[in-house]
Amino acid sequence: GQQVMQIPQYQHVQEGEDFTTYCNSSTTLSNIQWYKQRPGGHPVFLIQLVKSGEVKKQKRLTFQFGEAKKNSSLHITATQTTDVGTYFCAGLTNFGNQFYFGTGTSLTVIP
């Protein structure tokens, strides 16, 4: 069945270091969304990518959608303690109407 995997599952970084999480799908995606969930909170929408090779930036966050539309990445430059949380990707397949959430990457930032 459809699977969206994320790596790494956990990441501990020193404050100021960079962080990247990768999202890989077994099938081609029509679009992908990224969400952040703080500890004890609920997922909050960050961004949606639709086009092959698309790159979008939000301040220190850079999102990429692969050329084959089967993978995506989220890169955070110079992490801060406010970046702590679990980052999920959610991919929509070409033939489905539901988003398949990735397994999530839990980010810990050490001050």
Partner 1 sequence: KAGVTQTPRYLIKTRGQQVTLSCSPISGHRSVSWYQQTPGQGLQFLFEYFSETQRNKGNFPGRFSGRQFSNSRSEMNVSTLELGDSALYLCASSLGWTDSYEQYFGPGTRLTVT
Contacts to partner 1 by CB under 8 A: 1, 30-31, 33, 35, 41-45, 48, 88, 90, 92, 96-104
| Residue placing its CB nearer to partner 1 in the complex, 63 or 99 | 99
| Residue placing its CB nearer to partner 1 in the complex, 18 or 38 | 38
Cβ 101 to partner 1 shortest distance, Å: 4
Cβ atoms of 79 and 18 within 8 Å: the answer is: yes
Strand duo 10-14 + 105-110: pairing: parallel
For 52, the enclosing helix (H) or strand (E) is none
Cβ 98 to partner 1 shortest distance, Å: 5
Cβ atoms of 105 and 9 within 8 Å: the answer is: yes
Cβ 51 to partner 1 shortest distance, Å: 14
Cβ atoms of 16 and 79 within 8 Å: the answer is: yes
Q: What's the one-letter identity of residue 35?
A: Y
| Residue placing its CB nearer to partner 1 in the complex, 53 or 96 | 96
